[in-house]
């Protein structure tokens, strides 16, 4: 394990939210390091649509993705943040109250009192080593960690660094509630019909 990099705050994600967090933290005299899996600063704005016009930034009628990134970089320059690009956070440990130890896939270790997670909902292609296959089950030997979110359906045509929307599946309880609700309505309606006929 390498010697830990000690900082006030570790920001995971170097997109616009992460960059603005540097500014707000800097006003409080807190030093920040940023980790991002992308090879450039700016998140989706810089990676997916650097020339696309953006119209919904408060106080700015029009700006491109790269223009917003450049403006944020100018804004945070006085606070001298440190960037660690092409790295993915693999492990987060609580080592105090408050204190965290964060390890990246490049072997860097950070120790901080505060973590800010501002990562975009972007899919990242990773090489995965598989082992034994048994029916629909496949043993994963390396490439993903427990707790990672994995696209298992609807991934056809999904490109590396493509935008994804994570939706929680309905639980069986939800389905039972829905079914019960429909049945209750049907029974209630039948009851009214029967009652009407009796009168």
Distance of alpha carbon 96 from alpha carbon 29, whole angstroms = 22
Segments forming the whole domain that contains residue 133: 121-167
Q: Write the DSSP symbol of residue 178.
A: H
Pair 83, 148 in one domain? no
What would the two tokens of residue 192 be? 């009214």
Residue 147 CB: number of other CB atoms within 10 A?
Answer: 7
pLDDT score at 100: 92
Instruction: Specify the pTM.
Output: 0.63
User: What is the per-residue pLDDT across 134-179, written as a single tens digit (0 to 9) for each?
Assistant: 887 878 787 766 666 666 555 555 666 565 555 555 555 555 554 4
Q: Who's near 130: CB < 8 A, 6+ residues apart?
A: 138, 139, 140, 141
Pair 16, 109 in one domain? yes
Residue 65 CB: number of other CB atoms within 10 A?
Answer: 22
pLDDT score at 158: 60
3-state helix, strand, coil in the chain (%, to 5): 30, 30, 40
State mean pLDDT over 71-75.
Answer: 97
State the total domains in the chain.
3
Pair 156, 194 in one domain? no
Banded pLDDT at 181 (limits 50, 70, 90): very low
């Amino acid at each position: 394990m390498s010697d830990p990099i000690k900082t006030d705050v570790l920001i995971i994600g170097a997109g616009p939210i992460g960059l603005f967090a540097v500014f707000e933290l800097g006003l409080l005299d807190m030093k920040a390091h940023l980790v991002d899996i992308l090879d450039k600063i700016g998140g989706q704005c810089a990676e997916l649509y650097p020339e696309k016009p953006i119209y919904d930034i408060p106080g700015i009628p029009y700006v491109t993705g790269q223009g917003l990134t450049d403006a944020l970089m100018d804004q945070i320059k006085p606070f001298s943040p440190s960037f660690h690009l092409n790295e993915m956070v693999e492990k987060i440990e609580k080592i105090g109250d408050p204190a965290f130890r964060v390890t990246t896939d490049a072997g860097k270790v950070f120790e901080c009192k505060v973590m800010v997670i501002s990562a975009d909902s972007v899919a990242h292609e990773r090489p995965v080593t598989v082992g034994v296959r048994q029916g629909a089950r496949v043993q994963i030997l390396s490439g993903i960690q427990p707790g990672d979110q994995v696209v298992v359906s609807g991934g056809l045509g999904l490109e590396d660094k493509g935008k994804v929307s994570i939706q929680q599946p309905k639980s069986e309880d939800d389905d039972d509630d829905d079914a019960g609700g429909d049945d209750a309505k049907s029974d209630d309606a039948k009851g009214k019909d029967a009652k009407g006929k009796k009168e």
